[in-house]
Amino acid sequence: MREFRLRLLPDVLSVCRLDANDQAVQEAIPRWVCSKGFWSVSRRGDELSVVCDTARVPPELTHQSGWRAFEIDGTLDFSEVGVLAALTSCLAQAGVAVFALSTHDTDVILVQQDTMSTAMEALIAEGHQIISPDPE
């Protein structure tokens, strides 16, 4: 299996579910989503999924908090295969649930904060390198 350098992002994130049919959501990404750190918006049918800094999430929204993100350090080519499998297979064997996202350049794996030590041990045991968050 291929080994990756993974950057642990500093933010504690939430995964939120919004109604994609809500008129306000159709017109613009909600202002509370946009922040300096990592955030992502994905739409599928009637669902709009938002991943963003937990501190910015309105409490009335359906969401799950306590996620931390590992991003692959560097740019991936679209022809590469097995990237997520290389990361998620060892996490699955360790009993760590993931929420995966892809951007144009790279892949991001989210794990719950309470499974961070298990996730890090599993990733390192597979030969992946973890880079700690940059101090802000």
Tens-place pLDDT, residues 24-73: 666 677 778 887 888 898 888 778 889 999 998 988 888 999 999 999 98
> In terms of DSSP bridges, do strands 62-72 and 5-8 run parallel, antiparallel, or are they unpaired?
antiparallel
Fold (CATH) for 5-131: VC0802-like (3.30.2130)
117 alpha-carbon distance from chain centroid: 17
- What Rg value do the Cα atoms of the chain yield, rounded? 15
What is the rounded CA–CA span in Å between residue 114 and residue 120? 11
Q: What is the pLDDT of residue 81?
A: 76
What is the rounded CA–CA span in Å between residue 106 and residue 83? 10
Q: What is the pLDDT of residue 89?
A: 94
pTM of the entire predicted model: 0.85
Cβ atoms within 10 Å of 81's Cβ, excluding its own: 8
- Provide the residue ranges of all domains of the chain, joining segments of one domain with +: 5-131
